[in-house]
């Protein structure tokens, strides 16, 4: 394989025999630099239709634990909202790329990383993988397709179960739901045969098939961009995500904002607004 792109958080290599690209994360979690590098790489992919497939994985045993908590501690609510919108665009943009996107989740993916994998065409994972949509544990709301897109892919009931339980999803459920294309027992999975199979396909037919499969999801994309953005912003302003990050530093269980407290605050603000008018 030939290495190209001088990235700090990604390693990108080209296999000319199958016209496939192997992308590996070089760190256990995403940070802002990772997002920027993914954005530039996806922009490059969009203009290089000669590439047949892209395999995304990690140099470690785990796909990703989500966003870097240390970096997030310095975020303002506005910065977090902007970052989550960038995640959303990255997840959805993969559906529009001409290549077949393969993700090897290896030992697992948590939170935002689990949402990011929704953009893949084919997902693989180790049979012991821990895949968890645990946003609620972090004081966040799924905002990159983890509600609407996930429901469109695996059904509303499973999306509800996975989001509201915040527990690891049984590997059998992931397979039976179609979330995972294949599982494996080895420490690493050789994706070369899969890339070879894709390389034997008619490129134009493959691209048109991917585009045809996208049509049924397009209305959902509009709802995701509209609804999940609003709910996410509402969740961010409560600052439970800050509480979670602070509890990590103290190694304590977070004490999240009570709905009753929120109702009292809203009531007080309304009274103040009424008294000043």
- Angstrom distance (rounded) from CA 95 to CA 162: 22
**Per the structure block, which two tokens stand in for 154?**
């695996």
**Per the structure block, which two tokens stand in for 201?**
């396909």
Asked if residue 35 lies in contact with residue 86, where contact means CB atoms within 8 angstroms, the answer is yes
3-state class percentages of the chain: helix first, strand second, coil last, to nearest 5: 50, 15, 30
Which pLDDT belongs to residue 70? Answer: 94
Which pLDDT belongs to residue 35? Answer: 97
The residues near 67 (Cβ < 8 Å, ≥ 6 apart) are: 29, 30, 31, 83, 111, 112
Q: Is 79 helix (H, G, I), strand (E, B) or coil?
A: helix
Q: Is the pTM of this model over 0.75?
A: yes
- Angstrom distance (rounded) from CA 170 to CA 223: 28
The string of pLDDT tens digits covering residues 2-51 is 778 999 999 999 999 999 999 999 999 999 999 999 999 999 999 999 99
Which pLDDT belongs to residue 275? Answer: 67
Query: What's 101-156 look like in SS3?
Result: EEEECECEEECHHHHHHHHCCEEEEECCCEEECCHHHHCCCCCCCCCHHHHHHHCH
The string of pLDDT tens digits covering residues 46-75 is 999 999 999 999 999 999 999 999 999 999
The string of pLDDT tens digits covering residues 215-272 is 988 887 887 777 777 778 778 988 999 999 999 989 999 998 888 877 777 777 777 7
Over range 78-88, report the average pLDDT.
92
pLDDT higher than threshold 90 for residue 188: no
Average pLDDT in the chain: 91
CA 173, 176, 179: angle at the middle one, nearest 5?
Answer: 80
């Amino acid at each position: 394989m030939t290495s190209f792109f001088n990235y700090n958080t990604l390693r990108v290599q080209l296999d000319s025999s199958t016209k496939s690209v192997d992308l590996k994360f070089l760190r256990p979690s995403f940070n802002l630099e990772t997002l920027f590098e993914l954005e530039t790489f996806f922009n490059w992919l969009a203009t290089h239709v000669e590439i047949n497939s892209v395999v995304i994985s990690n140099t470690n045993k785990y796909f990703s634990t989500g966003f870097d908590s240390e970096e997030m501690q310095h975020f303002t609510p506005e910065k977090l909202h902007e970052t989550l919108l960038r995640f959303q665009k990255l997840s959805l943009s993969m559906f529009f790329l001409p290549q077949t996107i393969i993700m090897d989740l290896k030992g697992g993916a948590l939170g935002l990383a689990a949402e990011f994998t929704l953009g893949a065409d084919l997902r693989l994972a180790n049979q012991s993988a821990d895949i968890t949509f645990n946003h609620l544990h972090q004081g966040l709301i799924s905002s990159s397709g983890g509600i609407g897109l996930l429901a469109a892919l695996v059904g509303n009931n499973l999306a509800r179960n996975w989001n509201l339980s915040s527990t690891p999803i049984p590997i059998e459920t992931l397979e039976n739901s179609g979330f995972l294309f294949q599982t494996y027992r080895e420490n690493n999975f050789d994706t070369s045969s899969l890339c070879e199979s894709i390389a034997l396909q008619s490129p134009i037919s493959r691209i048109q098939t991917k585009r045809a499969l996208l049509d049924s999801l397009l209305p959902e994309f509009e709802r995701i961009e509209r609804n999940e953005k609003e709910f996410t912003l509402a969740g961010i302003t409560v600052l439970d995500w800050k509480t979670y990050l602070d509890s990590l530093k103290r190694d304590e269980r977070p004490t999240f904002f009570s709905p009753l407290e929120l109702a009292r605050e809203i009531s007080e603000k309304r009274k103040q607004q009424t008294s000043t008018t």
